[in-house]
């Protein structure tokens, strides 16, 4: 009886060790997408009044958890019965990332505003503010769903040859970390200015270290948001290139003379540019036909 219990404990220990080690690998594979997820949600959770930032972020977080609850069972079913679909979903997500990343780059250099949604203005009434808030939350949850699909699929692709229980453990850990970690950091970012003002108010000596730190936090927030947006955009293109290079045979040896990261970034950039041109051409022809 005792030997059976010890054998069971040993099996559990081995299983947890496998999950922990594979989770590290999966986390590394999904880190770039997590960076973009962080950048996107930091932007979408900012711009509200101080009293609404955390409620908005909490609403997005709950939506993110619901997304994971929907996606995880479907991913495990596909892995068990239609594993080839995982690769197709992965490549489709790569196309989306390449398109999104390159579109942002094109809009930046052409001087157009990528965001088409309206911003908060001083003349908005309470109903309009509520509607704006709902639209931002909905947009963030939809974006989170797409990013969550890719995070889960990429994590799953790293453990496809492992036992089902290891797959479930690893992907579930990544899904939880992706939500708690990303939205926890976003909460800290969007409250940077409040933390800064708190330090300024509490300091008796306005020339001391605390108020200087406070003003640094307040003034750096817009730059942090912008930096995250740039990093997130570059990460989208890089992740897309990596997906294509690892899952499409013809791209396995793309620009072998260059460092891997650079070759994958160029690959994502070229495919993203082709996707943007194709979409813009199709949109232009569709409008011509309709008119």
What single string gives the DSSP state of each residue in 1-47? Answer: -HHHHHHHHHHHHHHHHHHHHHHHHHHHHHHHHHHHHHHHHHHHT-S
Q: What is the pLDDT of residue 116?
A: 44
Domain limits at 186? 2-290
Q: What is residue 125's three-state secondary structure?
A: coil
Q: What angle separates helix 209-247 from helix 260-290, to the nearest 10 degrees?
A: 80
pLDDT digits (tens, 9 = 90+) for 24-49: 666 666 666 666 667 666 766 666 66
Contact 95, 271 (CB under 8 A): yes
Say how far apart CA 32 and CA 289 lie, in whole Å: 40
Cβ within 8 Å of residue 198, ≥6 positions away: 214
From CA 143, how far away is CA 64, in angstroms rounded?
A: 10
Are the beta carbons of 231 and 39 closer than 8 angstroms?
A: yes
Distance CA 6, CA 166 (A): 21
Task: Please compute the mean of the pLDDT values over residues 202-230 and round it to a whole number.
Answer: 82
Q: Quote the number of domains for the chain.
A: 1
Mean pLDDT of the chain: 80
CB 248 within 8 A of CB 267: no
Q: Give per-residue pLDDT as tens, 57-109.
A: 888 889 989 999 999 999 888 888 888 888 888 888 889 889 988 998 998 88
User: What is the DSSP annotation of 206-223?
Assistant: TTSHHHHHHHHHHHHHHH
């Amino acid at each position: 009886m005792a030997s059976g219990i010890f054998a069971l404990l040993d099996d559990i220990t081995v299983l947890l060790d496998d999950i922990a080690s594979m989770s590290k690998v999966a986390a590394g594979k999904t880190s770039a997408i997590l960076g973009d997820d962080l950048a996107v949600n930091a932007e979408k959770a900012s711009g509200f009044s101080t009293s609404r930032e955390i409620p908005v972020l909490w609403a997005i977080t709950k939506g993110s958890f619901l997304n994971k609850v929907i996606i995880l069972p479907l991913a495990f079913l596909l892995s068990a019965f239609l594993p080839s679909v995982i690769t197709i979903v992965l490549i489709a997500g790569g196309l989306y990332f390449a398109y999104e990343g390159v579109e942002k780059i094109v809009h930046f250099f052409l001087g157009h505003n990528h965001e088409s949604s309206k911003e908060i203005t001083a003349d908005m009434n309470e109903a309009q503010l509520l509607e704006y808030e709902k639209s931002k939350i909905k947009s963030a949850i939809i974006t989170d769903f797409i990013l969550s699909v890719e995070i889960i699929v990429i994590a799953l692709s790293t453990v496809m040859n492992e036992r089902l229980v290891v797959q479930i453990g690893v992907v579930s850990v990544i899904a939880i970390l992706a939500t708690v970690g990303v939205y926890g950091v976003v909460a800290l970012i969007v409250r940077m200015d409040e933390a800064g003002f708190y330090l300024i108010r509490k300091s008796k000596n306005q020339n001391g270290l605390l108020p200087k730190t406070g003003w640094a936090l307040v003034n750096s927030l817009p730059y942090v948001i912008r930096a995250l947006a740039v990093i997130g955009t570059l990460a989208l293109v890089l992740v897309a290139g990596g997906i294509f290079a690892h899952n499409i045979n013809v791209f396995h040896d793309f620009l072998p003379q260059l460092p891997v990261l650079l070759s994958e970034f160029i690959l994502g950039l070229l495919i993203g540019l082709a996707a943007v041109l194709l979409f813009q051409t199709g949109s232009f022809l569709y409008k011509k036909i309709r008119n």
